[in-house]
Structure 1
Amino acid sequence: MTAATELMDLAIVFAFVVVTLAQFLSMIRLVIGPGTGDRILALDTMVVNAIGMIVLLGISQGTRIYFEAAMIIAMLGFVSTVAYARFVLRGDIIE
């Protein structure tokens, strides 16, 4: 392997570690969050971290299917966060 390939592998491993740490910190905020807004924000952050992990998995394996899955999860994560926030604020989702 060349030095560039080894450096790229090291960068991907470092990125996995950092995103995993961010995911655990978001999970802690989800559990101990003092308010509902903190929990909603932690859940949205966990979705973003999961998308980052899926993209990193796609980069490390060199396949494109993970990027499509990340796009679908991003769309579902956005809609579910907005729906949950509306439910908490107004008591209903659809008026």
Structure 2
Amino acid sequence: MIIEWALNFALLAIALSMLLGGWRLLRGPDSCDRVLAIDTLYINVVALLVLLGIQQRSNLMFEVALVIAMLGFVSTVALARFLSRGDVIG
């Protein structure tokens, strides 16, 4: 019973965090702020998938969260290199 309440509270907190991250993505004054907002959003998606996997007792959610985490890391590094140098490879 306590676990269900804690999972629901955590899901609500992650959803609120995603809403605020989406706000920063739309209203970010600089491109660096938008990259950080995208980074925060993919971390929130990973957390949301892990929490849903715990709630639904599904191993598939954990695997999807792992793939999204790896793709998010690579895309963050690529965006940071593009913003700092102007190219990704080279």
TM bracket (short chain): over 0.9
The unaligned stretches of length 5 or more in structure 2 are none
Q: 2:83: which partner in 1?
A: 88
Letter in 2 for 1:94: I
Which residue in the other structure is 2:16 paired with?
A: 21
What is the CA distance between 1:15 and its match in structure 2?
Answer: 0.4
CA RMSD of aligned residues (A): 0.7
The amino acid across from 1:64 in the alignment is N
Deviant stretches of 4+, over 2 Å: none
Between the two proteins, the alignment pairs up a number of residues equal to 90
Partner SS, residue 82 of structure 1: helix
Is there any run of 5+ residues in structure 1 with no aligned partner, and where?
1-5
- Cα distance between partner residues in 1 of 2:8 and 2:39: 24
Q: Larger Rg: 1 or 2?
A: 1
**Length-normalised TM-score, structure 2:** 0.97
Identical positions, percent:
48
Matches within 5 A, 1:65-76: 65-76=60-71
What is the rounded CA distance, in whole Å, between the counterparts of 2:15 and 2:77 in structure 1?
Answer: 25
